[in-house]
Amino acid sequence: MILTLDISNEEFDGIIDGDGEFTPTIFLNFPSDIRGIYEFELINTVIDIYNFKDQTQNLGLPVKDDSLFVFGKMKVRIEGVKGADFKLIEGNLLAGREQYYSWPYTIDSGDIVCKCGGKLSFLEDCYVALMIVTESKPKITLTFNIEETVPFDFMNSSSIEQANLKKVESKHMKSHGKLFDFDFFQEYFGSGRRAIKSE
């Protein structure tokens, strides 16, 4: 069952744990203009659902636990985005090479910052920190499949072990892709750019 939680009135990084037991993997979009609505995905994420039990019960899901480990993809949608700052850390998280990018914004009194981070989905050795600036009343939702979650308690070793067993690796990290394989490309495209046969 697909569950959408409205976390608009909460601190973003108070709900999505990016610094705890697990480091999420983040799938980002890189538009030229981030303003308005921004969406991205996370896997292997711990979320605090304590304040959202009324939402889950209204949907017919009596969730007893205060936190969930979401091992499947969780879609994050933020409306009212003004801009963002992006930091990429290559290698060691504490001593790696840092690169920055900014989508310009102006801070107004009451604006909100949504802080998030994780391993970049397509570069295995890179960590991303993202600070998204929104208007004072943003709409923020998390959407995920409840069947791709397990209850999580960071004080319980068996809960941590169960989450570790469910943790998934991004398939995109390990593959060099088919199209960079010269033999594959020749077989399916010849010397052109239109496929000459199906897989």
Looking at residue 147, what is its pLDDT? 92
Q: Mark whether 42 and 134 lie in a shared domain.
A: yes
Q: Mark whether 180 and 162 lie in a shared domain.
A: no
Alpha-carbon gap, residue 20 to 45, rounded angstroms: 10
Q: Which of 32, 133, 125 is nearest to 81 (CA)?
A: 133
Q: Mark whether 76 and 99 lie in a shared domain.
A: yes
Q: Mark whether 179 and 89 lie in a shared domain.
A: no
Q: Mark whether 131 and 41 lie in a shared domain.
A: yes
Residues in the chain, pLDDT under 70: 18-20, 62, 171-176
- The domain in which residue 128 lies consists of 2-168
Looking at residue 172, what is its pLDDT? 57
Q: Mark whether 159 and 178 lie in a shared domain.
A: no
Looking at residue 174, what is its pLDDT? 60
What are the Cα distances from residue 45, in Å, to 16, 19, 55, 81, 163? Answer: 7, 10, 20, 22, 10
| Tokens (6 digits) for 178 | 């088919």
| Tokens (6 digits) for 141 | 């939702």
Q: Mark whether 195 and 122 lie in a shared domain.
A: no
Looking at residue 173, what is its pLDDT? 55
Q: Mark whether 178 and 144 lie in a shared domain.
A: no
Q: Mark whether 187 and 134 lie in a shared domain.
A: no
Instruction: Give residue 60's region: left, alpha or beta (phi > 0; psi -120 to 50).
Output: left
Q: Mark whether 192 and 159 lie in a shared domain.
A: no
Q: Mark whether 14 and 35 lie in a shared domain.
A: yes
Q: Structurally, how many domains does the chain consist of? A: 2
Q: Mark whether 180 and 158 lie in a shared domain.
A: no
